[in-house]
Structure 1
Amino acid sequence: MRTDVFLKRVQERGQYPTTQEADRAARVVLGLLGAHVVGEERAELAACVPETYALILLNPLRAAEPLDAERFVRATAAWIEGATEQTARWDVGAVLSVVADEAGPDLLRRLLLQLPPGYDLLFGRLEPV
């Protein structure tokens, strides 16, 4: 997927006024996600996003422990200047729902098996995958 297409989709989902805001959300969310998924699934996910974001997924800071969905949202808020938990939840949903669409149901299911319960909602899935 081309970077401009990816950012436009995140911008639309997040209702951001600029692609710069969509980019900021994507960098933070994918950086945090990359610290929580490993192996073949992380590599496959990286292949679904533009190279800039793939590098962020593949070279994250290491997480000391897995974050449950709520703590993931709080961590996102901590990394985005001026964000609240509510706005961070919006950012996470905008980015991860686009990522879920690109990943497809099989890869998404395998990713969710690596993550604590509750991430299905962050990926915009109302029912477990």
Structure 2
Amino acid sequence: MRMHWDAFLDAVQERGEYRTRQEAERAARTVLALLGAHLVGEVRSELAARLPETMALVLVNPLQAHEPLPPERFIRAASAWIEGATERTATWDVSAVLSVVADVAGEELMNRILLQLPPGYDLLFGHPQPVD
């Protein structure tokens, strides 16, 4: 079921402790555009179907990534795209948005998303995976 726009932004704003919805929306758009470049096929389509329509469009029309970025480079890329961000604030932004995405995705889809990403993203989504 698709999450409503207001509920999604409210959750991002709360998790990120943003003062305004505009800050939450800016972070969400940037992080989802970067995430969309890393996901392919059915996984990206299923996640898009659960996000508010505007955010789904951001996810399926991503910024281009030449290769899957490890988590630390994903954060660096986010800091470059978010005006005034540092790597520290971008880490906060990425975690705020991706933790809401994890809630929207649910456990089964979340596991499939993590399989498409380099190791370490589980922590950014707030879903640490057991170490073998």
How far off its partner does 1:48 sit?
A: 1.3
Q: Distance in 1 between matches of 2:63 and 2:20?
A: 27
Is the contact made by 1:48 and 1:99 (CA closer than 8 Å) also made in structure 2?
no
Q: Is residue 66 of structure 1 aligned with residue 40 of structure 2?
A: no
Q: Hey, what does 1:121 align to over in structure 2?
A: 123
Q: Hey, what does 2:13 align to over in structure 1?
A: 11
User: Of 80, 104, 107, which aligns to 1:105?
Assistant: 107
Tell me the matched-pair count. 129
Runs of 4+ in 1 over 2 A off after TM superposition: none
Q: Hey, what does 1:77 align to over in structure 2?
A: 79
Q: How high is the sequence identity, in percent, across the aligned residues?
A: 70
User: Of 51, 63, 73, which aligns to 1:49?
Assistant: 51
Spell out, residue by residue over 1:96-126, the C-alpha distance to the aligned partner (whole angstroms, 9 max, x if none).
0000001001100001000000000010113
The CA RMSD over aligned residues, in Å, is 1.2
Amino acid at match of 1:15: E
- Structure 2: runs of 5+ lacking an equivalent: none
Spell out, residue by residue over 1:62-82, the C-alpha distance to the aligned partner (whole angstroms, 9 max, x if none).
211110000000000000111
How far off its partner does 1:2 sit?
A: 1.1
Q: Hey, what does 1:36 align to over in structure 2?
A: 38
How far off its partner does 1:61 sit?
A: 2.5
TM-score where L is the length of structure 1: 0.97
